[in-house]
Amino acid sequence: MKAFVLDRYAKKGALRLADMPEPTLGDDELLVEVHAAGVNLLDSKIKSGEFKLILPYRLPTALGHDVAGVVLKVGARVRQFKPGDEVYSRPDDFRIGAFAERIAIREASLALKPKNLTMEEAASIPLVGLTAWQALVERAGLKRGQKAFIQAGSGGVGTFAIQLAKQLGATVATTASGANTELVKRLGADIVIDYRKQDFEQELQGFDVVLHSQDAAALAKSLRVLKPGGRLISISGPPDPAFARDIRAPWFVGLVARLLSAGVRRQAARRELGYEFLFMSASGAQLQRITALVEAGAIRPVVDRVFPFAQTNEAMAYVETGRARGKVVVKLR
């Protein structure tokens, strides 16, 4: 089968279109024909070697963390799905490979595709949807009447998280450029900070939750917009010791995580705040909850551009510019 493969870690290198062996299928896995694959900054970070301590992939390997397609074959222990089902998923770490014609996915990481979405729209959801769900629902326990600050509202995670936070009944603030202000307002943002003209630290106060996705300077400011008892959940680092324990990292990775996050954890404790680093994980059960919201019309995907499969490297380069509004997708079928 054809796949876009990472041969060696390199920031400016490209993936190679290659003939790869068919995926091996475990008893709890399904073989999925890929119709569309979402493109995420995570793919670029793995390509550059930024995550090789956390995710030590054996190369060569196909990249791609979002998939929508059709079930071709099921393993002996699979019970919830059958050949012909239209499905979507964020495959497990070390079982990724959506930039390929076919992929094997664990049953527990798969869900039926929302009936009201195209394959391309469905492929845009899993990674960002699960990130938002795990941050706002699982970690923060965001409730009606609370205030949530979602950074980078026009990005992939931001466009989904704004909608989810509104469904949970929160007042939502976000940052965006002036050109994207109307987009994030349509998605449900109550307060929009134009990051080119305003400093969010001067505009926001008394927030319950911050979903942080920016740099270290924004991290420090984010602590100051939270009220005592508030929660800062970061998807851009630094990793904390709890994350290292969760992934059963080697001792030296745990030590690095402890050192990298020592400053922000100390500042958070001083202000009576909680700090957590989130590296989202695959979950078919949570995707099913997201499917219900999408089919009810409560959340809609935001897709910026769809590239043909042959232009997967171009799609990754476009994501790396940071200018995408919502998600970028590659289409195979």
pLDDT tens, position by position, 303-331: 999 999 999 999 999 999 999 999 999 99
Q: Which residues, in sequence order, are CB contacts of 321 under 8 Å at separation 6+?
A: none
| 272 in the same domain as 137 | yes
Does residue 72 sit within a domain?
yes
Q: Provide the pLDDT confidence category of residue 248 given band limits of 50, 70 and 90.
A: confident
The structural domain count of the chain equals 2
Residues 274 and 231 sit within 8 Å (Cβ to Cβ): yes
What local confidence, expressed as pLDDT, does residue 12 receive? Answer: 87
- Domain assignment of residue 205, given as a range: 127-277
Does residue 42 sit within a domain?
yes
| 157 in the same domain as 119 | no
| 143 in the same domain as 97 | no
Report the distance separating Cα 163 and Cα 165, nearest Å: 6
Tell me, what CATH number does 177's domain have?
A: 3.40.50.720
| 182 in the same domain as 169 | yes
Q: Show the tokens assigned to 111.
A: 């869900």
Q: Provide the pLDDT confidence category of residue 69 given band limits of 50, 70 and 90.
A: very high
Does residue 295 sit within a domain?
no
Share of the chain above pLDDT 90, in %: 94
Report the distance separating Cα 225 and Cα 152, nearest Å: 16
- For the segment 85-89, the average pLDDT, to the nearest whole number, is 98
| 65 in the same domain as 148 | no
- For the segment 150-155, the average pLDDT, to the nearest whole number, is 97
Residues 232 and 276 sit within 8 Å (Cβ to Cβ): yes
Report the distance separating Cα 55 and Cα 323, nearest Å: 26
| 256 in the same domain as 160 | yes
- Closest by CA to 64, choosing from 333, 251, 328, 294, is 328
- The DSSP call for residue 24 is P
Q: Provide the pLDDT confidence category of residue 100 given band limits of 50, 70 and 90.
A: very high
What local confidence, expressed as pLDDT, does residue 77 receive? Answer: 98
Does residue 286 sit within a domain?
no
Other CB atoms closer than 10 Å to residue 331's CB: what's the count?
19
Query: What is the model's pTM?
Result: 0.97
Q: What is the DSSP string of 90-144?
A: -PPTTS---SBSEEEEEGGGEEEPPTTS-HHHHHTSHHHHHHHHIIIIIIS---T
Does residue 215 sit within a domain?
yes
| 132 in the same domain as 98 | no
| 197 in the same domain as 306 | no
Q: What is the largest CA-CA distance in the chain?
A: 58
What local confidence, expressed as pLDDT, does residue 54 receive? Answer: 87
- For the segment 17-36, the average pLDDT, to the nearest whole number, is 97
| 269 in the same domain as 144 | yes
Residues 94 and 126 sit within 8 Å (Cβ to Cβ): no
Q: What is the DSSP string of 253-305?
A: HHHHHHHHHHHHHHHHHHTT-EEEE------HHHHHHHHHHHHTTS----EEE
Does residue 187 sit within a domain?
yes
Tell me, what CATH number does 84's domain have?
A: 3.90.180.10
Indicate the residue among 233, 261, 277 that finishes a domain: 277
| 89 in the same domain as 45 | yes
Query: Does the pLDDT at position 167 exceed 90?
Result: yes
Q: Provide the pLDDT confidence category of residue 122 given band limits of 50, 70 and 90.
A: very high
| 233 in the same domain as 156 | yes
Q: Provide the pLDDT confidence category of residue 11 given band limits of 50, 70 and 90.
A: confident
Residue 28: exposure state from Cβ atoms within 10 A (0-12, 13-18, ≥19): middle
Report the distance separating Cα 145 and Cα 169, nearest Å: 6
What local confidence, expressed as pLDDT, does residue 249 receive? Answer: 86
Distances (CA, A) of 277 to 20, 86, 280: 35, 33, 10
| 148 in the same domain as 256 | yes
**Helix or strand or coil: residue 83?**
coil
What local confidence, expressed as pLDDT, does residue 37 receive? Answer: 98
Of the CA atoms within 13 Å of residue 271, those in its CB half-sphere come to: 22
- For the segment 166-170, the average pLDDT, to the nearest whole number, is 98
pLDDT digits (tens, 9 = 90+) for 254-292: 999 999 999 999 999 999 999 999 999 999 999 999 999
Among 90-94, 144-148, 225-229, 240-244, whose mean pLDDT is lowest? 240-244
Indicate the residue among 240, 261, 277 that finishes a domain: 277
- The DSSP call for residue 157 is H
User: Which residue is listed with tokens 């090789």?
Assistant: 52
Does residue 143 sit within a domain?
yes
Does residue 296 sit within a domain?
no
